[in-house]
Structure 1
Amino acid sequence: MTESGEWLIYRGAGEPHDGIDRLPPAPPWRDFDGGPLVAPGPEADSSTPRRLGAFQHMAELHRPSAEELEIVNAALYLRRPLLVTGSPGTGKSTLAHAVAHELRLGRVLRWPVVSRTTLTDGLYRYDAIARLQDVQIAAHTAGAGDARRRGAADDIGSYIRLGPLGTALLPTARPRVLLIDELDKSDIDLPNDLLNVLEEGEYAIPELERLADRAGEVEVLTDDGAKVTVRDGRVRCRAFPFVVLTSNGERDFPAALLRRCIHLELGQPDHQRLATVVRAHLGDEAARAGDDLIARFLDRSRSETLAADQLLNAIYLTHQAAPPTRDRLADLLIQRLDRPR
């Protein structure tokens, strides 16, 4: 039995460390054996500094409570997706970047969801039209038999690219971080379609399965832009990814999805947390100068729906403006999101 606090892998301190290597084996019902292992993903790209702030060395953006820390670590230990709900601007998407940054898990794979999004969009894309066009072009420059042979199997991987979900489920030694953003914007079927993939940690690519007897190994592109080998048309994870599903609470999800997730509700940030957000993005001077705007923002938040990025916009712009222009600009930029149209 570990001491209180020692079991935490993600500590929310903002300092990168290799604590993920201390993560104990998965529960038997969440143990996956995909392989052979593929190379780890790339280092964090520019999206993480944008999310965490240019001054993150001065103050971490996400200051999690004890309950938040326990829930995030429960998802890590149990290899379960983390469903994060809350109002816009409470830091739901940022949490995925904070975990990836602290645990050195590389680039966050982001899958933004809209009403037309399907499961296949997240898994992979197959450009059949481009492949057909290339075969037709080859037919004019070579014999028809040569073109048919060329188009049959050996080049199909050039027309397949794994999506964010498909890349996250590749067999890696360390988990990837996958952000499925705004799941509540999806078609009614997508949450149910996700169930089997998130439960089994694997998926099939039918276009490659059909060719498995002739091309058992096919190189395809990942969402990172790297090439990996898919064997027999199936992908199965080794380390289950850290999956963050975000929702603004605009719809209810099926019970079957909820029971497969760990749920975290993010409340409205307090003054200290908002000041930390401002400090991380704009620096200590801007945070001090904008303290009155933070207080006004919090006061209005009690009766209006506002988002933290509105506050950042206002402080950034008004930092250079003098009263009374400053106050007027702030009111123009921080407008309630739930006002009647």
Structure 2
Amino acid sequence: MTSAAESTAWWIYRGHGLPPEGDAEIPELPAPPSWRTFDGGPPLPIPPVSDTEFLRRIGVPSPIAAKQASVREILTVNAALYLRRPILVTGNPGTGKSSLAYRIARELALGPVLRWSISSRTISRDGLWEYDAIGRVQAAAAEENAGAGDFVRLGPLGTALLPYERPRVLLIDELDKSDIHLPNDLLAVFEDGEYEIQPLSRIAATQPDVTVFTHDRGGRATVREGHVRCRSFPVVVVTSNGERDFPPAFLRRCLRLEMPQPDLEQLVGMVAAHFREVPQRGQDLIREFLTISEREGGLANDQLLNAMHLATSNAYQQDENWELLRNTLWQRLIVSGMD
């Protein structure tokens, strides 16, 4: 019979979201399948990470505060790491879908998360690159000494596909808000792990190497002959609030994960990550939140954090109006057609 330790020995991601203690503790990633192997290069180092974004998104890293992920989450993420496939994360608003990307990045030391927020007007090229043609014309008219790369900026998807030594984490947030064609437009990029920047391809004969801006703050990278090809396919986390279905071809290429409403233990861990101490009033508030969330059809985690901040800080002294204020903060997000 296989022991518990043996059954989890293949896990790279364990769901605690704690950063490695040192270089020796950084998890080694498995080799990809032959059909998900790419040869972009030369290899680039992972950019340095600032703790500010992680603290804002998932709180202070500590064993007590770490959210205990479900076995399904851990299995799905590890399968995606081994297979180099995107993860489609669905669930109600505020259940921690986007937080998954930050836990993966911090736990596996994969650098800053590249976030691509989707709207109804987003097209695939928005995530790959943008070219400031007007700026280049103005620079030429003013006889400014600027190269073509000064007017090209890679988007979050385009940056994630640069040939990094280790995969970057890309969060494609709320894809269900997109135009109906965007999921299918992403398929070729997900399969091929590469893309072309046409303005640079046109000048490749005279300027084969062009340094462009990336999506990272202050980031620059050199693009050769107008093409970008990844070396290690990024960890792609796609979130959806379930507002619409996706094409079968897109779903076939993703591993799917449904985020349930968090339970008491998970909420306590989330609150502890943002508040150094959770007083008795805070614990009572979490229980009230759970009760109302179940009754009203699902509240968002940040609604609890908002109430917790007011209830446990000196900004607001609780009085007879507390329940009215709490109900204002905890207005339900899912409204039935009967209302």
Q: TM-score, normalised by structure 1?
A: 0.90
Q: 1:254 aligns with which of 238, 247, 251?
A: 247
SS in 2 for 1:245: strand
CA deviation map 1:36-76 (0-9, x unaligned): 112322214522110111x4326344321112101111011
1:46 maps to amino acid: T
Aligned match of 1:165: 157
Unaligned stretches of 5+ in structure 2? none
State the SS of the aligned residue for 1:83.
strand
**Is 2:18–2:103's contact at 8 Å kept on the other side of the alignment?**
no
Matched with 1:222 is 214
The equivalent position to 2:48 in structure 1, one of 37, 42, 52, is: 42
* Paired residues, number: 326
Show the counterpart of 1:313: 306
Q: Are positions 1:88 and 2:93 aligned together? A: yes
Instruction: State the SS of the aligned residue for 2:100.
Output: helix
| Aligned residue number for residue 334 of structure 1 | 330
RMSD between aligned residues: 1.9
With over 3 angstroms needed to count, the CA separation of the structure-2 counterparts of 1:330 and 1:61, relative to structure 1, is farther
Distance 2:13 2:32 in 1: 16
Structure-2 residue corresponding to 1:142: none
Distance 1:329 1:192 in 2: 44
The question of whether the paired residues in 2 share the 8 Å contact of 1:90 and 1:267 is answered with yes
One-letter code aligned to 2:33: P
User: Could you say which residue in structure 2 is the equivalent of 1:144?
Assistant: none
Of 213, 228, 231, the match for 2:224:
231
The residue that corresponds to 1:141 in the other structure is none
Change (3 A) 1:58 1:66: closer
1: CA distance, partners of 2:30 / 2:322: 53
Percent of matched pairs sharing the same residue? 54
Q: Which residue pairs with 1:212 in the alignment?
A: 204
Higher alpha-carbon deviation: 203-212 or 18-27: 18-27
CA contact 2:65–2:271 (8 Å) conserved in 1: no
Distance 2:50 2:35 in 1: 31
CA deviation map 1:110-164 (0-9, x unaligned) = 11111111111100110000000111111xxxxxxxx8xx7xxx71100001110
Residue 105 of structure 2 contacts residue 112 of structure 2 at CA under 8 Å; is this kept in 1? Answer: yes
Partners of 1:257 and 1:7 lie apart in 2 by 27
Q: Answer with 271-280 or 167-176: which moved more.
A: 271-280
Deviation at residue 206 of structure 1 after TM alignment: 0.7
Residues 22-171 of structure 1 correspond to what in structure 2 (within 5 A)?
22-53=28-59, 55-57=60-62, 59-138=64-143, 155-171=147-163
Does structure 2 conserve the Cα–Cα contact (< 8 Å) formed by 1:62 and 1:95? no
User: For the Cα contact (< 8 Å) 1:13–1:60, is it kept in 2?
Assistant: no
**1:13 is the counterpart of 2:16:** yes
1:271 lines up with 2:264 in the alignment = yes
Conserved in 2, the CA contact under 8 Å of 1:52 and 1:94?
yes
The correspondence for 1:325, drawn from 316, 321, 324, is: 321
Partners of 1:221 and 1:227 within 8 A in 2? yes
Q: Given that residues 315 and 330 in structure 1 are in contact (C-alpha distance below 8 angstroms), is that contact kept between their aligned partners in structure 2?
A: no
CA deviation map 1:188-233 (0-9, x unaligned): 1111111100111100001111111111111111111222110010
Instruction: Report deviation, 1:20.
Output: 5.9
Q: Pick closer, same or farther for the CA change 1:45–1:116 going to 2, 3 Å.
A: farther
TM-score by length of 2: 0.91
Provide the C-alpha distance between the structure 2 equivalents of 1:328 and 1:300, rounded to a whole number of angstroms.
Answer: 14
